[in-house]
Homo-oligomer: A and B are copies of this chain.
Amino acid sequence: MTKEEVLQSLAIETDSKLIMTVIDGIGGLPVRGKTELEAAKIPNLDRLASKSICGLIDPISYGITPGSGPSHLALFGYDPFRFEIGRGVMEALGIGLKLTEEDLTARGNFATIDENGIIVDRRAGRISTEKNQEICQFLQNEIREVDGIRVSIYPGKEHRFVIVFQGEGLKDNLIDADPQKDGKKAKGTESLTAEAQRTAEIVNAYLKKATEALKLFHPANTILLRGFSKIPNIPSMFERFKLKPAAIATYPMYRGLARLVGMDVLETGETLRDEVETLKNNFNRYDFFYIHFKKTDSAGEDGDFKKKVKAIEEIDRILPSILKLKPDVLVVTGDHSTPAVLKSHSWHPNPILLYSKYTRPDGIRRFTERQCQKGQLGRFPAMEIIPLMLANGLKLKKFGA
C-alpha cells in the first residue's frame, strides 16, 4: 500500500476537534537582524509555543516557492505534485466562482491585433477596469453559447478576465491560445489529446466569434486565453481522513481551495474577530477547522515590514478566544513565507506549533522561525501536518498488528 492508502485505511471518525490556523505568508527574513515574527510582540503565541511541539515546515520542498494553490493542498494533506490546480481554475476561485466538474476555465486578456491578425499589444493598452467590465457585458450578451456549450465571461482588473465554458464532455488538455509575445499571430488553441479535439473546436469557434464581435472595440479587438483547466479530481478530506471539515476565510481564493477538498465554507465577516466568532458558532458542527488570516501576506507583498509585524500582533491578540474553545489539537503555521524584504512569496520554511495534550512539549519560549527550528518536529513537508493532527486527535488506528 502507498502511504496515502495506509492513512486512508487508518482514519476513523471521533469527537475530537482539530483547528488549523493558517497565517498567510507568516515566515519572513531578517531586517536589522530580526524577522517579522522576531520583531513582533506575541506573548500569547510565545506562551502556546512553550506548551507545544514545534518545527519548521517546507510547504512543497527545499527551494520551491509555492503559489497559494499548491501550498494549501499540502496543508490540507494532499501531495502538491500529484494534484495540480490550473491557472484558469485558480483565477475562477479567486473571484469566487463555484465550479463543477463539467466547467472548463481559462484566464483571459483583452488584446490588440492589426489587420493581419498580428498581436500588437497583449494587454490592449491596459484598458481601465470599467472599460473591461463594459466589454465583458457586451461580449456576454453577444455570445451566450457555442454548439450547446454555455460561455460566461467575468471581468477582472484592467485587461484581465476569467472565462468559463460549461457543458458535457469538455476537456482541459489544450495548449494556450496566447503566444505570450507581441508581434506574433493570434492563433487558436490546439488539443493535446484526441478526446480534447471537440473542446478545442468549441474554444476556437468562440475565439472567432469574439474577435468578430470586438471589431469596433480597438484597442480591445481580440482576446487571448491561457491556463485552460478544470477542477482536479481530488478525493475529499472526508474520503481521505474521515474528517468533517469547515473553512473560515475571507478571501474567495482560499474559500474556493477549501471547497475543492470538500470543506464546508462558512459565511463570515471581514475581521479576525468575525472569523473567530464564526469558528465559535460552528464549533459543534464539525471536527476540523481551517481558519485563514490574510493580512500578514498582503503586508509582506507590499514590502511593509512594520505592517506585517502589526498584522502578526493582531493575530496574537485574537489567539485566546480560539484557545477558549479548548480544541483537542491546535496547529498554528503558515502556507508559505512572504518576507517583506522580497515583496513576494518565498521558499523559506515556516514555523509551526502543534498543541495537544499528547505531546512532549519542547519548552521553546518564542514562536519564531529560528526558535521553532529547535523543536522536535524538525524540518518536514507541510503535507505531514494532517497525519500529525489526526494522530494527536486520536483519529488514526494502529498500522498493522
- Chain A residues with CB under 8 Å of chain B are 1-3, 6-7, 10, 29-30, 35, 56, 60-71, 80-81, 84-85, 87, 90-91, 339, 341-342, 344-349, 358-363, 369-370, 373-380, 384, 386-392, 396-401
Contacts and interface: CB of A to CB of B under 8 A. Distances in A.
Contact of A362 (B35, B67, B370, B392): B370
Contact of A66 (B68, B377, B400): B400
Contact of A80 (B64, B69, B400): B400
B400 A69 contact: yes
Contacts of A84: 1, 400
A64, A345, A363: residue with the most chain B Cβ atoms closer than 10 Å: A64
Contacts of A347: 388, 391, 396
Contacts of A363: 370
Given A64-B396, A85-B401, A344-B398, 13 more contacts: A29-B358, A29-B360, A63-B391, A64-B387, A65-B396, A67-B401, A70-B399, A87-B401, A339-B358, A346-B391, A348-B360, A373-B376, A379-B380
Select the residue from A62, A346, A386, A390 with max chain B CB neighbours within 10 A: A62
Contact of A64 (B6, B60, B346, B374): B6
Contacts of A65: 391, 396-399
A3 B63 contact: no
Nearest to A33: B361
B378 A378 contact: yes
Contacts of A30: 360-361
A163 to B, nearest CB: 16
A63 B359 CA distance: 12
A65 B400 CA distance: 9
A44 B140 CA distance: 67
Contact of A398 (B2, B62, B67, B91): B67
A10 B66 CA distance: 11
Contacts of A370: 360, 362-363, 376
Given A81-B2, A360-B370, A399 B91 contact: no
Secondary structure of the A side of the interface?
loop
Question: How many copies of this chain sit in the oligomeric assembly?
Answer: 2
B70 A400 contact: yes
Given A3-B61, A90-B400, A342 B358 contact: yes
A90 B362 contact: no
Question: Nearest 7 pairs between A and B by C-beta?
Answer: A63-B387, A63-B391, A67-B400, A378-B379, A62-B384, A90-B401, A70-B400
A360 B62 contact: no
A203 B380 CA distance: 46
Nearest to A373: B376
A300 to B, nearest CB: 14
A399 B358 contact: no
By CB atoms of chain B within 10 A, which of A69, A87, A349, A378 has the most?
Answer: A378
Contacts of A81: 1-3, 6
Nearest to A253: B401
Contacts of A63: 384, 386-392, 396
B387 A358 contact: no
A346 B358 contact: yes
A389 B377 CA distance: 24
Contacts of A62: 380, 384, 387-388, 391
24 contacts: A1-B81, A3-B81, A29-B359, A56-B376, A63-B386, A63-B389, A64-B399, A65-B391, A67-B399, A68-B400, A68-B401, A69-B401, A85-B400, A87-B401, A342-B358, A344-B398, A346-B358, A347-B391, A348-B360, A362-B370, A369-B376, A374-B374, A377-B379, A378-B378
Contact of A7 (B64, B374, B397): B64
